[in-house]
Structure 1
């Protein structure tokens, strides 16, 4: 009795089947991603470059930028600070590190930076960093690694250089030079996607005042859940107003999750937590009282509305 012939293999048919399965899998992944809300996080896009951040990183970067603004420091100071924090903590407020280092800049209580509790306050830590930076003669003209190292006295002084490009990109967005360059997604495009629960206009005002100091003058808005911030101080140049307005607007978006912010508007731009995946959207600007751009033809306002 003849033995059964071996089963013939069809490599071409198998390869075709594999390609079909891979195509179906790819379509499923693409279709799911395209039709699902983006996960929580933030993106900075400016000058042809992009950078992804977590909500925590974006909020901390915006706080460092606000403290720089409160002190009237140049962009270079902010870039040095952001590059330093990117290297030391990845812009996270760490409760531990090398030896007794803590916080955004991994400052050490034993080296005179303050108590651990103080250093874990991002506003305090940022001010301490800038206090040391501005004492360095000509810091803005020094290579970033040199300026950062003179503040930090790190064991790896050249490590700061690799973060200069990202820090420069972040600086452009957070100082308002790159309008609308920072946007955050809240995790789900739903009405309560700002973080769940009600926000507090008083808390937003307190945070603005503490981080920006006298650089901003938040005030009550006719809308009960809204804080209005004039984009420029009295007598300031128009360009200063545009930059400061965007600086405040992008600060608000960066802190949308922790402050439960529902909406931010400035000029003809609007960011909505319920549509956070769309980023900044354009709307019709008005000059009527209570409008998106100004009150009765007055100065342009940034309006920050918290969740109900």
Structure 2
């Protein structure tokens, strides 16, 4: 008489089914963690063209921080937007805007610079501000670099085995450069989900501003540093620079945290600082950024810049004032 199929086969099928369910749950859990923490697996940030047309580029909070640093270092040297675009396209190709601690042979960092080839010590190259500055040092030495095709200018600095690889990143680099230099207003947004780093506050924001823009970033034009020296974060103490959780960053001619001057339009410098703050929102636990009558708030469903008053954005921009960056604590 035929015997029924051994139960162990059914158990095997059940076991495989259970294992698959566990795997799916694990993947779902990982994705959930990535969403909550703003991890590298979730884009989290977007930059749009200021000229309309629907052109956008999505990227991660980590990439946003590094792109903002590269841009700030370039503009602090008073380099034109084209130089920033070249630097951003180069970093997109070399590291995907990630500060890598590995690479081909001894290549490191955002630009995959090599200690053995005279680019500096390992710890120096792993400092994004240092590596960006070193890239610009070499770029400006190239005669007529602003008039060269982007891939040629980048290759003359990098001397890559793939000299034509930089060109494909030019459109995305142009979008990033327009927003992060402040030429395109209110075009960069992020979800602003804090990562797993310890809680941070205004001191961390001030220190990061000084790191990327230099010691005078918190000092209004013509102002003197107040008595008491530097803050514990290494930033200059400036009258009106911080009020509770809010760091007030003066825009050129904006006064020491004063009320907006009537008739003064929003400036690219102001939008650069505002976009920098949004790009650093997850890493510095920034809750809100306000400038020129518009406000970005972390955790909003659409993460967009919204008018801050009933008068509308155009009226508010005529009195831009300083940039206000509010931390979560």
* Structure-1-length-normalised TM-score: 0.76
In the TM superposition, what whole-angstrom CA distance separates every residue of 1:74-98 from its partner, at most 9, and x where no partner exists? 0010000000001000000001000
Task: Determine the structure 2 residue equivalent to 1:168.
Answer: 174
For 2:319 and 2:293, locate their aligned partners in 1 and report how far apart those are by CA, in whole Å.
15
Structure 2 residue aligned with 1:19:
none
Alignment counterpart, residue 191 of structure 2, candidates 185, 195, 207: 185
Aligned residues of 1:197 and 1:260 also touching (Cα < 8 A): no
- 2:80 is equivalent to residue 74 of structure 1: yes
Secondary structure at 1:228 match in 2: strand
Determine the structure 1 residue equivalent to 2:44: 41
Aligned with 2:101 (options 91, 95, 100):
95
Q: Which moved more, 1:205-214 or 1:193-202?
A: 193-202
Q: Could you tell me which runs of 5 or more consecutive residues in structure 1 were left unpaired when the two chains were aligned.
A: 1-35, 188-192, 287-292
Kindly provide the CA deviation profile for residues 168-226 of structure 1, in whole angstroms up to 9, marking residues without a partner as x: 11111111111111100134xxxxx5868642211211111121125632544463111
Instruction: Name the CA distance, whole Å, in 1 between partners of 2:310 and 2:281.
Output: 22
* Other-structure match for 1:300: 321
Q: Secondary structure at the match of 2:166?
A: helix
* Cα gap change, 1:197 to 1:89, in 2 (>3 Å): closer
Q: Would you say 1:213 and 2:200 are equivalent positions?
A: no
Give the one of 222, 246, 253 matched to 2:271: 246
CA contact 1:260–1:306 (8 Å) conserved in 2: yes
CA distance in 1, matches of 2:164, 2:67: 21
Aligned to 1:264: 289
Shift of 1:103: 0.3
Task: Tell me: CA distance 1:284–1:197, structure 2 relative to 1, closer, same or farther (3 Å).
Answer: farther
Is 1:199 aligned to residue 224 of structure 2?
no
- For 1:275, what is the secondary structure of its paired residue? coil
Q: Which residue of 1 aligns with 2:151?
A: 145
Alpha-carbon distance change, 275 to 122 in structure 1, aligned in 2, over 3 angstroms: same
Name the SS for the 1:158 alignment partner.
coil
- The structure where helix makes up a greater share of residues is 1
Task: Report the 3-state secondary structure (helix = DSSP H, G, I; strand = E; otherwise coil) of the residue aligned with 2:119.
Answer: coil
Measured in 2, the distance between the counterparts of 1:201 and 1:242 equals 24
Structure 1 CA distance, aligned partners of 2:183 and 2:161? 34
Moved over 3 A (4+): 36-40, 193-198, 218-222
Equivalent residue, structure 2, for 1:16 = none
**Residue 231 (structure 1) shift:** 1.9
C-alpha displacement of 1:278: 3.2
Asked if the contact 1:85/1:91 (under 8 Å) is kept, the reply is yes
> What secondary structure sits across from 2:79 in the alignment?
coil
- 1:270–1:283 contact (8 Å) kept in structure 2: yes
Root-mean-square deviation over aligned CA pairs? 2.7
Q: Deviations over 1:249-302 (max 9, x none)?
A: 00000000111111100021111114263321111189xxxxxx79xx997110
Distance in 2 (CA, whole Å) between partners of 1:213 and 1:170 is 21
Structure 2, unpaired ranges of 5+: 1-34, 220-237, 256-263
TM-score of the two chains, using structure 2 as the length reference: 0.72
Q: CA deviation at 1:54?
A: 0.6
Distance 2:195 2:102 in 1: 29
Residue 277 of structure 1: aligned partner: 302
The aligned counterpart of 2:231 is: none
Q: Does 1:224 align with 2:244?
A: yes
How many residues are matched?
Answer: 257
